[in-house]
């Protein structure tokens, strides 16, 4: 009777261990798939970007667009400043001439 209980316990333990090992193997396989999706596939037949490279590419594109937008905004701002400076200088020179003319008439 005691031997039968031990035998049953061992058989149950072995079954649990097999199931556990199968689950571990399945988990390792799934982790391999996740890593492969992150890293991508690179061999002589197929070149496929992974999600990590795609994310890096999206970040690079986003910041490139920001740089281009910022350059356009900078150019527009510089044009506005240059126009204002030219107008102000023209106005000041005209005022100088008017004052010089007024002084010469006195």
pLDDT in tens, 34-69: 999 999 987 777 788 999 999 999 999 999 999 999
Angle between helices 2-39 and 51-105 (to 10 degrees): 40
Strand stretches in 1-106, DSSP E: 40-42, 47-49
Instruction: Tally DSSP H helices, then E strands, for the chain.
Output: 2, 2
Is the pTM for the entire model greater than 0.85? no
Residue 62 and residue 23 in one domain: no
- Structure-token pair, residue 38: 């992150």
Average pLDDT (5-29) is: 97
pLDDT score for 41? 83
Range of the domain at 22: 1-49
Residue 97 and residue 74 in one domain: yes
Residue 57 and residue 103 in one domain: yes
pLDDT score for 46? 75
pLDDT score for 14? 96
Alpha-carbon distances of 5 from 12, 17, 18, 55, rounded to whole Å: 10, 18, 20, 57
Per the structure, the count of domains in the chain is 2
């Amino acid at each position: 009777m005691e031997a039968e209980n031990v035998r049953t316990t061992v058989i149950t333990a072995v079954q649990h261990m097999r199931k556990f090992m199968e689950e571990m193997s399945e988990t390792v396989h799934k982790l391999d798939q996740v890593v492969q999706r992150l890293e991508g596939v690179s061999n002589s037949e197929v070149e496929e970007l992974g999600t990590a490279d795609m994310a890096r590419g999206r970040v690079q594109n986003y910041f490139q667009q920001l740089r281009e937008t910022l350059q356009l905004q900078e150019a527009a701002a510089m044009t506005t400043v240059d126009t204002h400076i030219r107008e102000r200088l023209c106005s000041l020179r005209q005022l100088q001439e008017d004052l010089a003319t007024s002084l010469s008439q006195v």
